[in-house]
Amino acid sequence: MAKILIFGGTFDPVHNGHLQTARAAQAKMCADRVVFIPANTSPHKLATNTSSATPQQRLAMLRLGIGDNPFMEVSEVELQRPPPSYTLDTLAMMRRNHPNDVLTLLIGADQLAALHTWRGIITILENTPVAVLPRPGYPIPAESPHLPQRLWNRICASELDIPQCPISSTAVRERLEHGLSATDQIPAAVLDYICRHRLYGYTAASTPERRIP
């Protein structure tokens, strides 16, 4: 029986913050592995999705990002069904694929304010252990006006004591769109893929030596 951490997101693109957080969570929880699940289209980003990367390109970058790390893998479970991607459905499919394993859902603290809007969130919280990833500027309040206190207490007690990482995919995309360096924020293999496929407006003509003051 394996202990598996489920790490979902758009990963647009995957960056060092994702990878560092996953490694820290895996070590802290003594998990066997972290499974990254890129969303086809997040139901919370349907109206704002302006990325130049396709789901398959995000998948390819994610695979390049984790490389040969034995504690990490990528699942295409959300890319194999029509969007949008609901966590409730994903967890049900993962349980069918891993009937003898213990699954824990990783949730960023920045997601908690809108957690009550997730489809089937009560079912998710009652049936799946969660671990909250700390995010800068997003402390966990003692109670929620939308969710039962007994479930919120579990969330409050599940925040992981791991380093916070300030990197965001939005900030990475903005740097790339302006031809600024992101070599300290995303893996070299991912940056090379972005350059070759001219994603986010970044090309070989960009100037990686430039830095934002």
CATH number, domain at 158? 3.40.50.620
**Across residues 4-31, what is the average pLDDT?**
97
Looking at residue 50, what is its pLDDT? Answer: 54
Count other C-beta atoms under 10 Å from residue 160's C-beta: 16
**Across residues 46-50, what is the average pLDDT?**
49
Query: Do the bridges between strand 102-108 and strand 130-133 make them parallel or antiparallel, or are there none, so unpaired?
Result: parallel
Least confident of 56-60, 164-168, 200-204: 200-204
Is residue 64 within 8 A of residue 190, CB to CB? The reply is: yes
Alpha helices for the chain (secondary structure H):
16-28, 55-66, 87-97, 121-127, 149-157, 169-177, 188-196
pTM: 0.90
Q: What angle do CA 48, 12, 195 make, to 5 degrees?
A: 120
Looking at residue 46, what is its pLDDT? Answer: 47
Q: Is the dihedral of CA 160, 17, 1, 154 positive or negative?
A: positive
**Domain-located, residue 154:** yes
Instruction: Label residue 212 by pLDDT band (50, 70, 90).
Output: very low
Is residue 102 within 8 A of residue 130, CB to CB? The reply is: no
What would the two tokens of residue 96 be? 């069918």
d(C-alpha 157, C-alpha 140), whole Å: 10
**Domain-located, residue 207:** no
Is it the case that residue 65 has pLDDT exceeding 70?
yes
Q: What percentage of the chain carries pLDDT values higher than 70?
A: 90
**Across residues 118-122, what is the average pLDDT?**
98
**Domain-located, residue 20:** yes
**Domain-located, residue 197:** no
**Domain-located, residue 69:** yes
d(C-alpha 9, C-alpha 168), whole Å: 12
**Domain-located, residue 70:** yes
Number of domains in the chain: 1
Q: List the one residue out of 189, 201, 184, 151 whose CA is nearest residue 64.
A: 189
**Domain-located, residue 183:** no
Task: Say how far residue 106 (Cα) sits from the centre of its chain.
Answer: 8
Q: What type of residue is 47?
A: A
DSSP-derived secondary structure letter, 85: P
**Domain-located, residue 208:** no
Q: How far apart are the first and last CA of the chain?
A: 49
Is it the case that residue 207 has pLDDT exceeding 50?
no
Instruction: Label residue 181 by pLDDT band (50, 70, 90).
Output: confident
In the predicted model, what is the mean pLDDT of the chain? 91
Looking at residue 84, what is its pLDDT? Answer: 87
Looking at residue 52, what is its pLDDT? Answer: 80
Domain that holds residue 36: 3-166
